[in-house]
Amino acid sequence: MLIRPELCLSLRCPYCTQENFYALNRFQLKDGFNNTLRCSGCGTPVAAVDVRDSGVIFHVYCLICGGKHVFYYKSKQVWEKGVKYFTCPETGLEPGVLGCREEVIAVAEANRRLYEELLENAEELADFGEMFNNPGVMAEALERLRHLVEAGRLDCECGCGDIEVNLFPDHIKLSCFLCGGVLIIKAETEEELNRLKKARSLRIRAGEKRVFGVRSRRKRAPSSGSSEKGNN
């Protein structure tokens, strides 16, 4: 078993959404330790860490549902190898990541670009809502995708985290820059929106094109010269 001298905790602020990184070491996490972690940007409490009875308790203020969740690990579990995700029981998404610094930063960096692109598309939707068949459904679909990105639950099976987002009147197109894989998210009806809301994760198939929620044989994605264009 690999025991690490320091941990890194990544959490987004529930108020301003800024991503924060906190270092926790063995000298801190001893019985009786209690500390409130605040956002480095706005000062809002993001989590509290409490150590007692040979266990570590994380009280996390959830960006996703607005509630507070409690996660308990035995002291030995906290230092074991691997990334630990703090899962929101209301949505199944993960507002926090705990692990070694390199692993946590890698997860955050993979999600950063896609998160920012989704925010840009949401702003575009507010300005050009008449372009979409159902602006309300499209807005909620983008919000759901942002939550999945924040939780590290949207990726490509090829391992690339560089994903392009394009909006169309009735759907959202997610494309992997590395392998060309494509995932189409239909966003026109309440039924399609509800199907997306129930998804706990989304994954693009490497080099293939598919429509979310539709069972189909594995297909190769179209070449980069495809004529389909959308709004970036």
Residues 18 and 81 in one domain: yes
For residue 108, is it within any domain? Answer: no
Bridge-based pairing of strands 202-204 and 154-156 is: parallel
Q: Report yes or no on 125 lying in a domain.
A: no
What integer pLDDT is reported at residue 224 of this predicted model?
Answer: 45
Q: Distance between alpha carbon 14 and the CA centroid of its chain, in Å?
A: 14
Q: Record the tokens describing residue 119, joined without a space.
A: 């925010």
Q: Give the mean model confidence (pLDDT) for residues 49-61.
A: 89
- Asked if 69 and 17 sit in the same domain, the reply is yes
Does residue 22 lie within any of the structural domains? yes
Counted domains in the chain: 2
**Can you give the pTM of this predicted structure?**
0.55
Residues 63 and 138 in one domain: no
How many Cβ atoms sit within 10 Å of the Cβ of residue 170? 16
Residue 9: per-residue pLDDT: 92
3-state secondary structure string across 170-200: CEEEEEECCCCCEEEEECCCHHHHHHHHHCC
Cβ-based neighbour number of residue 166 at 10 Å:
17
User: 86 and 157, same structural domain?
Assistant: no
CB contact burial 4-25 (16+ within 10 A = b; e otherwise): eeebbbbbbbbeeeebbebebe
Between CA 203 and CA 149 the distance in angstroms is 11
Tell me whether residue 200 is in a domain.
yes
Confidence category of residue 36, pLDDT binned at 50, 70, 90? very high
Radius of gyration of the chain (CA): 19
Asked if residue 56 is part of any domain, the answer here is yes
Res 218 pLDDT > 80: no
Report whether 208 contacts 182 (CB < 8 A): yes
Measure CA of the first residue to CA of the last residue in the chain; give whole Å. 46
| pLDDT of the residue at 61 | 92
pLDDT tens for each residue of 149-190: 877 788 898 887 778 888 888 999 999 988 999 999 999 999
Kindly state whether residue 117 falls inside one of the protein's structural domains.
no
Q: What's the CA gap between 220 and 178, in Å, rounded?
A: 14
- Long-range Cβ pairs for the range 119-124 (8 Å, 24+): 119/146, 120/232, 121/165, 121/167, 121/231, 121/232, 122/146, 124/167, 124/231
| Domain extent for 143 | 132-211
Is the domain of 148 the same as that of 203? yes
Q: What is the mean pLDDT of residues 33-50?
A: 91
Handedness of CA 185, 186, 188, 190 (dihedral sign): negative
Q: Would 90 be classed as within a structural domain?
A: yes
